[in-house]
Amino acid sequence: MHTTVPDAPVIQKVAIVRPIGNKDLPVSSQRIEQVGVSCEPPMHLDSAPPRYDPHRWIRGGHLQTLLSLRSPKAPHLQPKLHWVTLDDGDQIALHDDQPAQWKPGDASVMLAHGLCGCRLSPYMIRLADQFTRLGVRVFRLEMRGCGVAADHSRGLTHAGRSDDCLAALTRIAQLTGEGDLATVGISLGGNQLLRAAGRLGAGLDKAPDWAHRWTRLVAVSPPIDLQRCSDNLQRPMLRAYNRYFIGNLLRRLPKHIRQSPELMQRCARPWPKTLRELDDRITAPISGFRNAEDYYDQSSAASVVSSIAVPSLILTAANDPIVPVECFTNLNLPQPSKVDLQRHPVRLLITPCGGHIGFFTRGSERFYMDRVIRWWCAGSEA
């Protein structure tokens, strides 16, 4: 793997990458054996995506998802904390892991966590460890109300906080001075980054002066269609996921909400049983949306994915129990043309198994997503 992100975009065609198998079958129905990938049409990258060899006994979506919670060790990480003050006065945190050999002009990467994540989430630690060992400066972003930023904001983090990601990248651009910037978003963080890039590409947000430095974006298991994801979580068999999300989110409520009887009445028994109920009672009204449906409609990245100009890779699994694969198979990506070569540099990589941010595999490196992320950010095989 190269330790820097090349200047020239490696995106040449819009493509959907599918597992090798019967193309007449839906992705979720294809055989799960030796899983290579083929591309329709060809990617024209310097190399093909890394090979995915799922663990023989660990292929189910739920088990893959649970394994994503395994905590790694990275004792050498000693980040420096930077605060980012947002327009409304709230603050988010950047944890800066700078390798000793890093110098201005070298590559940097920002990692954005998922809905219940923080800088200490297993995937955040793994990726920070891997990138810093390659000489890449890493900034782990903690969203509103998360980690050390828990009591530094009155607002809630949610899927539509793409402006927070841009504010964090502006601060990183100031700290690094020059050099390429890559971004990696996991689950909710992936939706936020895709939405940010899509809104910039569509001209809905003003492009910052560092925009030319944003050369790579990876989104892993991003909930780009929030309504579809919410509908999926309504199923009784997914109650455990709802309990997990609701419990974590209620514990993260800002202090002024926890101390307000009026606001806490929205959480009063009966407690929300699904994430949609929580979004309808808490997330949407406190964040300025009419209701959950309005929040989902305005915050989903699917509506702007086709406008993204940053070379972007979306990695997802056909058996993700939280984010249905139909969120991606129904994307209206443009067909390749001379115009699209520059305007629509998006790739979609769907694996038959992997669960939600799991992608547990055989071999010494247990998480396929880590290899894909490094491969995409470097433009070659990791």
Segment 333-380, tens digit of pLDDT:
554 443 343 555 888 888 888 889 888 887 667 889 999 999 999 864
Q: How far apart are the first and last CA of the chain?
A: 5
Q: Does the pLDDT at position 45 exceed 70? A: no
Q: Does the pLDDT at position 9 exceed 60? A: no
* φ, ψ at 361 (rounded to 5°): -135, 175
Q: Does the pLDDT at position 65 exceed 60? A: yes
Determine the Cα–Cα distance for residues 95 and 42; give it in Å rounded to an integer: 38
Q: What is the DSSP string of 273-296?
A: -SHHHHIIIIIHHHTT-SSHHHHH
CA 218 to chain centre: 7
- According to DSSP, the residues that pair with 286 across neighbouring strands are none
Q: In this predicted structure, which of 22-31, 41-50, 249-258, 297-306 has the lowest mean pLDDT?
A: 22-31
Residue with tokens 């694969």: 325
Exposed, middle or buried: residue 330 (CB in 10 Å: 0-12, 13-18, 19+)? exposed
The H or E element spanning position 245 is helix 239-251
The reported pLDDT for the residue numbered 53 is 76
Determine the Cα–Cα distance for residues 335 and 321; give it in Å rounded to an integer: 29
The H or E element spanning position 381 is none
Tokens coding 173: 């651009």
Residue 110's pLDDT band, with cuts at 50, 70 and 90, is: very high
CB 48 within 8 A of CB 62: no
CB 351 within 8 A of CB 30: no
The reported pLDDT for the residue numbered 114 is 93
Determine the Cα–Cα distance for residues 321 and 240; give it in Å rounded to an integer: 11
Pairing of strands 15-19, 37-40: antiparallel
- Name every residue whose Cβ is closer than 8 Å to that of residue 85 and which is 6 or more positions away in sequence: 91
Residue 268's pLDDT band, with cuts at 50, 70 and 90, is: low
Determine the Cα–Cα distance for residues 276 and 296; give it in Å rounded to an integer: 10
Q: Does the pLDDT at position 142 exceed 90? A: yes
Tokens coding 152: 């530094």
* Pick from 112, 114, 111, 124: nearest CA to 77: 124
Exposed, middle or buried: residue 188 (CB in 10 Å: 0-12, 13-18, 19+)? buried
How high is the mean pLDDT of the chain?
A: 81
The reported pLDDT for the residue numbered 28 is 36
The reported pLDDT for the residue numbered 256 is 74
Q: Is the dihedral of CA 59, 62, 65, 70 positive or negative?
A: negative
Determine the Cα–Cα distance for residues 189 and 281; give it in Å rounded to an integer: 22
Q: Is the dihedral of CA 1, 140, 108, 310 positive or negative?
A: positive
Q: Does the pLDDT at position 32 exceed 60? A: no
Domain 15-225+303-378 listed as CATH 3.40.50.1100: no
The H or E element spanning position 137 is strand 137-142
Pairing of strands 312-317, 346-351: parallel
What number of CA atoms fall less than 13 Å from residue 251's CA on the CB side? 11
Residues of the chain with CATH 3.40.50.1820: 15-225+303-378
CB 347 within 8 A of CB 17: yes
* Pick from 7, 121, 4: nearest CA to 369: 121
